[in-house]
Structures are given as structure tokens and as C-alpha cells.
Amino acid sequence: MNVSVRYQIRGQSSNAIAASIEDAIHAGRLATGEQLPTVRDLARRLHVSPTTVNAAYNALRVRGLVRGAGRRGTVVNRRPPLLTPADASPPPGVRNLAEGGPDPKLLPPLGPAISALDADPGRYGDTENLPELVEAARKQFREDGIAVDSIAVVSGALDGIERVLSSYLSPGDVVALEDPSYTGVLDLIASLGLIAEPVAMDEFGMLPRELDRALKAKAKACIVTPRAQNPTGAALDRKRAMELQRVLARHPGVVVIEDDHAGPVAGAPALTTTAGLERWAIVRSVSKSLGPDLRLATLIGDARTVARVEGRLRIGPRWVSRILQRIVVNMWSEPKTWRAMKHAADTYAERRRAMIAALNTHGIEAYGRSGLNVWIPVAEETAIVQALARKRWAVRAGEIYRIKSAPGIRITVASLEPAEAVRIAADFAASLRPQSHARLA
């Protein structure tokens, strides 16, 4: 432990001690992974009882700022849920393949849908969810072979996931999720004071035996990405979906959440593990398919789960802007939109294949069955990221996505042309020497 850490912490009450630690984290004086003093050590220095320090640490754990780390004691979380400076954009001239968003050139035009809006500002007594939006979403899920019980409208995929988790779980409860997993989900779990139980995966998603192990470890919820898994590009096939469904059916108390954030541009069929389950939800965002600023997702699930989500929604924002809902309805009603989304899905698939093939020519194994990203297992991440940066490529180190899984590099291929794939693959191969590379699972 850095000796200076203990002298940055002040306070005579649990609230004051917790606030002191939070301020130090926010200011960057306590870094990710930094070890805090033991309860007894800090209590002795501050002349307070161990109970007071323990209460401060517990409050910070519940808020996701710190975590227990076995023999290392209490450490600052990987990325605490505080307002901290965002990751810096790559400098001019560096090709940004780290961001993870859709190609703006492949998004359907927003203009016609916005122009078709009327000037009515709406009223408090209006229906929260536009019937046209609900019916269109219901039709889409049914066309994908997914039975629809109830539907809610939420402000994006993570908003829906948070509302379901908050409806059933309390701080300290365990959530099973893919490893590696999307950083937003990892941060959300930490901020809710929940414990992430990693589930090993391959290119078809969670490994059934590993999911069963995690659920036996008292997980109360499970988050599954059926396609376009971020960062690996994994996607369920029918065999894996059925295997996972059988595992989940053996644990009827578990709430199952499927994060179908990419929806129709994922480039893989819409499969589900939720059929026949007691507590479940599938959340499907429009941000990847229609545009990042359309903060809207539809959430289907069993009647109780959807009722809990809507009940909590009405206490806070009450509804998702009906202006956004109307824009989505207008876009979905246009055949041009669906042609654009089909073109986007095909283009992303072509770009994934080009990136994987280019890497394969150098003997480098890579994965990406769906979505906007390709995942490359490696022996060490930082040196590769730095070497590619010197070649004017910005990619994402896998550390922020991983819990226990092996290192890797994520490359966003959403806007990557095949000719560029050839060049970055050659530069990637050069950066590996004398490294060896690994497999996803």
C-alpha cells in the first residue's frame, strides 16, 4: 500500500471518512486498484472506532467506489461511478478504431422523420407509450420468433438493464455475466453495489458449464448478450441458446436479462434463452441501428418484471420522450429505413470478415461473429496498443472489459474499409513480435 494513502483520509464519522475517500478518488489522488488502509490501521490513525471505519468502507462498497480484494483488503474499483474526465479522443491523424459506435454513414437519415413531427408538445395525461411504437416493437419480436408478454419503453439498453436489476436485487447480490463483458454493464453493476460473477465464454457466448457454476454460486440475476457481444462479437447459435436455456431452467429464481443492443444491424439471428422462464427481460435499443442520440429501447418480459420497470419509471422521469418515440415510429414506418439497416448489417459483416481474414493471413486468430467489433486474444495488451498508436491506429486494450478472462484487443470495424484492414493487420502482426497470441476460450 502507498503510505501516503492513509494520510489523505480524514474524518471523525463514517460519512466524513467516506466523503474524504470519495473526494480523493474523484481528484485522482487514489488510483484504480489502490489499496486502502485496513480497518484497524485507519481507525487507530483517525482515533475512531473500527466500527466507524467499517461503516465508511461498507457505504463505499454499496456505491461501487471500492471493493473487497481478498488478501489485498479493500481497493479502489476499476472505474468508480463518479463524474471523472472522459477518455481522451485520439490525436489528429490517428484512425479511431477504439470508439465502438456505428458508422454514421450507414445510419438511416433522421431528417424526414423529424420533419414529419407535429408541433403538439403533449400533455401530462397522454399515454406514456405510443401505441404505434408498442405495436411495431411487438411485431418485430414476433417476427423474430420471440413471444411477447408485456412491453415497456426505456431510455436505452443500460437504462432497461438497470431498472430490471434494481427491481429484484439489493447491494451485495451476485450477477452472472459474460467475461469479457461490456464496460457499461460492469460499471453499472459496481454502481449498484452488486457483485459480478464472471462466466467464461467462446464465440457462441457463455459456456453452459460455466453458467451453471456461476448460478450455483448464488447468482440472483444473469445478463446475456445474444448477439453483437461487446467486446468479442460473440453470438448465440441455436444449439448454444438451447443449452443455456436448459441451464437457466434449473435455476428458476434467477432473473435473466438479454441485452440485444444492436438489434437488426447485429448481423446474426435474434435468438433467446428466455423461453419458458419465470423472470426475464429482453431489451433492444435503437441507438446502434437508428442513431446514438435516439436514447430509446423497447423492453419485453414477463408481466411482473415489466410492471416493476414501468412502476419505477413513473416515479422518476415518468416516460421516455414521446417526441423520441414518434421519431422512431416514423423511421420504422419507412421501408427505406429497413433497407438501410439491412445494408448496414451486411456492411458490418463484410468488414468483420475482412479484418479477421487479414489477421488470419499473419497467423493471428480473431473473433467476431456479429456486431461492430473484432476481438483478438493476445499475451499482453499495453505494448500492442502503444505500438499501433505509433502507427496511427487507436484500438482498445481489453483490460477494461475483463474480470478473469485472458488479455485481448478490441478493434471496432464499423467504419473500417477492407483495404485498411490489410494495413492494420500487418501493423498488428509487427507489434506482436516477439509475443505469442492466445485463444478466446
Which CATH number do you get for residue 372?
Answer: 3.90.1150.10
Q: Name the grid cell of 79.
A: 472505474
Q: Kindly state whether residues 354 and 329 are assigned to the same domain.
A: no
On whether residue 109 sits in a domain, the answer given is no
On whether residue 440 sits in a domain, the answer given is no
Q: Kindly state whether residues 59 and 192 are assigned to the same domain.
A: no
CA–CA gap between residue 359 and residue 368 (Å, rounded): 12
CA–CA gap between residue 138 and residue 117 (Å, rounded): 23
Which pLDDT score is estimated for 84? 55
CA–CA gap between residue 288 and residue 301 (Å, rounded): 22
Q: Kindly state whether residues 137 and 276 are assigned to the same domain.
A: yes
On whether residue 441 sits in a domain, the answer given is no
Q: Kindly state whether residues 313 and 341 are assigned to the same domain.
A: no
**Of 312, 334, 356, which residue is a domain's last?**
334
Residue 52, SS3 per DSSP: helix
Which amino acid is present at 10? R
Phi/psi region, residue 218 (left: phi>0; alpha: psi -120 to 50; beta: rest), is left
On whether residue 86 sits in a domain, the answer given is no
**Of 334, 366, 394, which residue is a domain's last?**
334
Which pLDDT score is estimated for 65? 84
Residue 366, CB half-sphere, CA atoms under 13 Å: how many?
Answer: 29
Q: Kindly state whether residues 201 and 305 are assigned to the same domain.
A: yes
**Of 297, 312, 334, which residue is a domain's last?**
334
What is the total count of domains within the chain?
A: 3
Q: Name the grid cell of 160.
A: 432497461
CA–CA gap between residue 264 and residue 180 (Å, rounded): 23
CA–CA gap between residue 146 and residue 139 (Å, rounded): 10
pTM for the model: 0.85
| Contact of 342 with 263, CB cutoff 8 Å | no
Show the domain range for 52.
Answer: 3-76
Q: Kindly state whether residues 324 and 372 are assigned to the same domain.
A: no
Question: What does the DSSP 8-state code read for residue 228?
Answer: S
CA–CA gap between residue 11 and residue 413 (Å, rounded): 49
Give residues with Cβ within 8 angstroms of 397, minimum separation 6: 381, 382, 384, 385, 409, 410
Q: How far is CA 368 from CA 77, 219, 267, 431, in A?
A: 29, 28, 10, 21
- CATH value at residue 53: 1.10.10.10
Q: Kindly state whether residues 281 and 389 are assigned to the same domain.
A: no
| Contact of 304 with 282, CB cutoff 8 Å | no
On whether residue 82 sits in a domain, the answer given is no
Per-residue pLDDT of the chain (441 residues; tens, 9 = 90+): 444 565 678 889 988 898 898 888 888 888 888 889 999 999 999 999 999 998 898 888 877 788 776 666 888 887 666 665 555 678 888 999 999 899 999 999 999 999 999 878 888 888 899 999 999 999 999 999 998 879 999 999 999 999 999 999 988 899 999 999 999 999 899 888 888 999 999 999 999 999 999 999 889 999 999 999 999 999 999 999 999 999 999 999 999 999 999 999 999 999 999 999 999 999 999 999 999 999 999 999 999 999 999 998 988 888 999 999 999 999 999 999 999 999 999 999 999 999 999 999 999 999 999 999 999 999 999 999 999 999 999 999 999 899 899 999 999 999 999 999 999 999 999 998 765 555 666
Which pLDDT score is estimated for 1? 45
Q: Kindly state whether residues 363 and 391 are assigned to the same domain.
A: yes
On whether residue 179 sits in a domain, the answer given is yes
Which pLDDT score is estimated for 83? 61
Q: Kindly state whether residues 24 and 40 are assigned to the same domain.
A: yes
Which amino acid is present at 182? Y
On whether residue 226 sits in a domain, the answer given is yes
- CATH value at residue 310: 3.40.640.10
Q: Kindly state whether residues 294 and 145 are assigned to the same domain.
A: yes
Q: Kindly state whether residues 184 and 148 are assigned to the same domain.
A: yes
| Contact of 61 with 71, CB cutoff 8 Å | no
Which pLDDT score is estimated for 29? 85
CA–CA gap between residue 241 and residue 259 (Å, rounded): 14
Q: Kindly state whether residues 320 and 363 are assigned to the same domain.
A: no
On whether residue 81 sits in a domain, the answer given is no
CA–CA gap between residue 27 and residue 319 (Å, rounded): 35
